[in-house]
Amino acid sequence: MMSEIKNKVIFAITTNLTTIPELTVAEGMQFSLEPVGPIWLKELIKFSEAQDILSPAEIKQIKTQKHVIWGEYTFEGKGKHHAMKIAKLMKAYANLGSAVCYVENSMKVIPADLFKEIEIEDSIALLHLFVEIVREDAYVATEGLEAFGLNDLRVSPASGAAQATAFACAAQMVCEGLDLKIGDHFKATESSAEYLVSAIKIETATEDEIKNPNGYLILEKSKPSVLKDKI
């Protein structure tokens, strides 16, 4: 019998706490408390600027926080409840004065004040917290679906349609349990371009990389069928 895939989400929470508080955490979570490194802080702000997510006031607040709590959550199986456990923990730290949370798997920067505005039980809210859509030269990809125990996506060729398809497909996977297989077709809407799931690609991570162990669903734009008259 094959063993379950072990997913791992790495996240960080800035804080002025000097010890890790005794909060209720999920089995499979472990933590470390470290000083905020200047290089990491610079990268965090760079990511936030690319995502246009933090205000100048929030960036100023982050710079006043002296420590970062790094967390790892290892789990098996699929489901939004895994992402929800991390989100609940982040919300608890936000209530304790944390300025920002960060998800290493998708390089998502999450201002702590956001947790005052969203319902973390909501599937779409969780999708926005943990998943990023990234456009490369050859394809559009998702990053972060490992937080739900799911495959990430690579949709080609890169285009606006591919970006819409990546988001719509990820949303249906998280919210509706869509389970695509090789040979399946997917359309973001009835009038959208159709894509074929042509492969599942598994990549091995190096020591300083994060790769989704569930693999990447490769979606390629379907070629239009040509109908030929029979004589």
The mean predicted confidence, pLDDT, of the chain is 92
Average pLDDT of the segment spanning 74-103:
96
- Position 225 scores a pLDDT of 56
Name the pTM for this structure: 0.92
* CA pair distance 149, 152, nearest whole angstrom: 9
Of the given ranges (4-13, 95-104, 196-205, 222-231), which has the lowest mean pLDDT?
Answer: 222-231
- Position 226 scores a pLDDT of 46
| In the predicted structure, residue 101 carries a pLDDT above the cut 60 | yes
Read off the pLDDT of residues 123-166 as tens digits, 9 standing for 90 and up. Answer: 999 999 999 999 999 999 999 999 999 999 999 999 999 999 99
128-164 burial: b if 16+ Cβ within 10 Å, else e:
ebbbbbbeeeebbbbbbbbbbbbbbbbbbebeebbbb
- Position 3 scores a pLDDT of 62
| In the predicted structure, residue 199 carries a pLDDT above the cut 50 | yes
* CA pair distance 130, 146, nearest whole angstrom: 9
pLDDT band at 26 (very low <50, low <70, confident <90, very high): confident
Read off the pLDDT of residues 40-64 as tens digits, 9 standing for 90 and up. Answer: 999 999 999 999 999 999 999 999 9
* CA pair distance 21, 8, nearest whole angstrom: 22
